[in-house]
Amino acid sequence: MRIKTIIVTGGAGFIGSNFIFYMKRKYPDYRLICLDKLTYAGNLVTLQPLMEEADFRFYKADICDRDAVYKVFEEEHPDVVVNFAAESHVDRSIESPEIFLDTNIKGTAVLMDACIKYQVGRFHQISTDEVYGDLPLDRSDLLFTEETPLCTSSPYSSSKAAADLLAMSYYRTYGLPVTISRCSNNYGPYQFTEKLIPLMITRALADQPLPVYGQGINVRDWIYVEDHCKAVDRIIHAGTPGEIYNIGGHNELRNIDIVRLICKELNKPESLITYVADRKGHDLRYAIDASKIYMELGWLPETKFEDGIKKTIQWYVSHPEWWRHSFFII
């Protein structure tokens, strides 16, 4: 498949914007089209450096708005659609599940209908390792594989699992060339400050309390966002339609250890750490087996956590004008 134009939904958000910048650097001849609703987690300032470029266009639209989506597809004739657009914060899904069902399920259906109508060559669905549920803390030998049964714990992960199932049904029923990737926790520049790492960095910079759920012993597998972008790049160019690919960073860390590391890097006292009531249904441990994408597509993560976290901290230190408008207060 020859690729000329890619629509990136959710491209003003954290991973989507990093993906656009990465693809722009690697494939300067591609046309990159960003479609984003600009909800609280979308920041058009992030994409400002691209706004005047001839091969980049931005559309403010909701992926649930069928007429708006079809209009973009009709104007831009995409070869590939990569769907980053999603409501993604677990806490918000617990408080208000309905918007997660609308965006993450209905929105995905609208995009796939548009792909069929306008004969798009590949639809790639960005999913999450959270669709697998969690793993016990005392079984480091257990990892999520692509065959691990779906076992969701929150309205967020349930909505993403439903979208995955819907995407695979479109592949089987309509022959839509679909691929899905399920990635572990991302970190890096341009992440909204409600998520763990940017929340702790920005609050520590302001000498504010650092709220940690429960005892902070929950474990996540962390991946630097550019490594994730490289994996998606590999999938849309060489992945097999109808396949699911796990993406992991091989960096399992407890939440409390990350917070302590951030305090150390910023020379802030650990006395800022405050333990708060645990999240409802809080998953214990995520850990990804990413051997399939390595064996089939040759992808491996390149960034060690100790290097990536330093780069991330320095980015937030150096860009207060970006995050202060969205400073998240608990």
Tens of each residue's pLDDT in the chain, 330 residues: 889 999 999 999 999 999 999 999 999 999 999 999 998 888 899 999 999 999 999 999 999 999 999 999 999 999 999 999 988 777 788 888 888 899 999 999 999 999 999 999 999 999 999 999 989 888 988 999 999 999 998 889 999 999 999 999 999 999 999 999 999 999 999 999 989 999 999 999 999 999 999 999 999 999 999 999 999 999 999 999 999 999 999 999 999 999 999 999 999 999 999 999 877 878 789 999 999 999 999 999 999 999 999 999 999 999 999 988 665 544
Q: Measured on CA atoms in the order 225, 303, 261, 288, is the torsion positive or negative?
A: positive
* Domains parsed from the chain with CATH numbers: 5-191+224-250+284-302 (3.40.50.720)
156 counts as catalytic: yes
Q: Measured on CA atoms in the order 293, 299, 304, 309, is the torsion positive or negative?
A: negative
pLDDT value, residue 281 = 76
pLDDT value, residue 199 = 96
Annotated catalytic residue: which of 87, 130, 233, 283?
130
95 counts as catalytic: no
pLDDT value, residue 325 = 66
270 counts as catalytic: no
Annotated catalytic residue: which of 36, 79, 87, 129?
129
pLDDT value, residue 330 = 42
Annotated catalytic residue: which of 59, 156, 187, 190?
156
- Residue 266 and residue 201 in contact, taking contact as beta carbons nearer than 8 Å: yes
